Amino acid sequence: MTGLPSDLPDEIRAALGGRQGRTFSEACALRDRQRVDSVLKTVLTGQDVQPTVADLAGADGAAIECTFRFQRLRGAEAKTAGVLVFGRVGAQAPGVLSHLPAAILARLMGLAKSLNLVSDLEALVATVCEGAKILTQAESAAVFLRDRVTGLLRIAGHIGLPASLAGVAIHEGEGAIGRVLSGGKAVWEPRPGEELTDDDPVRVMNAASYILAPLTHEARTVGVLAVFSREESAFDETAAQVLAGLADISAAAVMRALVRRDLDRLESTTQLILDELPIGVVSVDSEGRVLQANPEFLALIAGPGENARMGRNLFSSELILQNHLSPFLVDLVHGRAFEQDVASFRLPGGRVAPMRVQGKPLRGEGGRRAGAVLIFCRGGGGNGAGGARRTVRVGF
């Protein structure tokens, strides 16, 4: 573990000893492994992360609390060569889960494995709520997630909450749940205080006991995991530790599901826009193979014997060859955009129409060429910006 101070206690050296060739997270306590793995993956993508507190598994089984900083190592051509880990010894602490009975800890770890297999946000939240309710013996459980647009906390899923709370929106710092979001610390309240407002979910539910734990991933709190009971003093310290542990285990999985949901929504929105555009749009890989095409492009090239199968090579198609666009596509795959007005653009079936053709290179991670997008606009004319441009008349 390069970069650690030389004066580390023997316990930490024992925790790290003999781990060459294994992942750094395997030196951590079981409850922190998933989170540390997630942090390392984030660093490897080139993103900065906040210092991370994690427990190392000591030689005698005790947890050793440390604060770690991570720095990406760059190799040739600025490529990622590894991660440099700096560690600072904190106060030795048993960790949230270390006092739990082995049977409960085993169930938590089993649940963690199940969560790693779930990518759908709704299914993931349902699994977390069910696990929270069973493990704490609560009457109801809920996951509140922060809306990325408004910043408000909304119920993402629940078991046993009244229908009146379906549309609840909680401001950060507002009420018991909002304060957990802003403070980032778990709250265990056998008897809620009188400071709750009438519309606070805890009061609406008439809950006499509750536990609230933040869902924190890489120093960012994205939501709150909550369990409720109408009985006073329904939860003990063990239940509070269980929920805090479950929240820690669930946070990374919830964050992954949120990112996937956002990507799915973006892809769906993008497709809707493409479907309605009155211009033909087609994306190709670096070899010219069609990756995606909108309906207008498909209608544009439709003709006897023409097919817009995904994977076909657009660069060698008649559409490109008979309109003398190949030289410009060579420039395009080398990263240079172009814009062409073709006065007599030949279409399948003997049709001819004025056409503006634009090509824009697409780049992936690290600026690597990943393909291109071509835009076909009927009518042509006008002045374009960027790239090479000229008006071409194709003779017959």
Q: Average pLDDT for residues 128-139, to the nearest whole number?
A: 92
- Tell me the mean pLDDT in the region 146-169: 87
Instruction: Tell me, yes or no, whether 297 and 193 share the same domain.
Output: no
Answer for the pair 379, 356: CB distance below 8 angstroms, yes or no: yes
Residue whose entry in the numeric block shows the structure tokens 């580390």 = 8
Single out the residue in 30, 55, 89 at which a domain terminates.
89
* Residue 95 within any structural domain of the chain: no
Give CA separation, 91 vs 32, 65, 176, 388, in Å: 16, 6, 29, 63
In-domain check, residue 231: yes
- Residue 2: inside a domain: no
Q: Is 243 helix (H, G, I), strand (E, B) or coil?
A: helix
Give yes or no: residues 215 and 153 share one domain.
yes
Are residue 25 and residue 57 in the same domain, yes or no?
A: yes
CATH code, 165 = 3.30.450.40
Q: What span, in angstroms and rounded, lies between the C-alpha atoms of 84 and 18?
A: 18
Q: Are residues 209 and 340 in the same domain?
A: no
End position of a domain, from candidates 272, 302, 318: 272
- Do residue 57 and residue 204 come from a single domain? no
**85 in the same domain as 54:** yes
Q: Report the share of the chain in percent with pLDDT over 90.
A: 16
pLDDT for the residue 37: 83
Q: What is the per-residue pLDDT across 334-383, written as a single tens digit (0 to 9) for each?
A: 888 999 898 899 888 788 889 999 999 988 777 778 889 999 998 865 44
**How many structural domains comprise the chain?**
3
pLDDT at 321 (0 to 100): 87
Tell me which residue range forms the domain holding 44. 10-89
Predicted confidence (pLDDT) per residue in 312-337, tens digit? 788 888 888 888 888 888 888 788 89
Q: What is the pLDDT of residue 227?
A: 94
DSSP 191-231: S--TT--TT-HHHHTT-SEEEEEEEEETTEEEEEEEEEESS
Residue 94 lies inside a defined structural domain of this protein: no
| pLDDT tens digit sequence for 68-97 | 777 777 766 666 777 777 766 663 334 455
Domain finish residue from 246, 272, 298:
272
Q: Which residue has the higher pLDDT, 112 or 145?
A: 145
User: In the prediction, which pLDDT does 145 show?
Assistant: 93
pLDDT tens readout for residues 176-193? 888 888 887 778 776 555
Burial 171-200 (b: 16+ CB within 10 A, else e): ebebbbbbbbbeeeebbbbbebeeebeeeb
Task: Give the CATH number of the domain where residue 361 resides.
Answer: 3.30.450.20
Please check whether residues 119 and 250 belong to one and the same domain.
yes
Do 115 and 124 meet the contact criterion of CB atoms below 8 Å apart?
Answer: yes
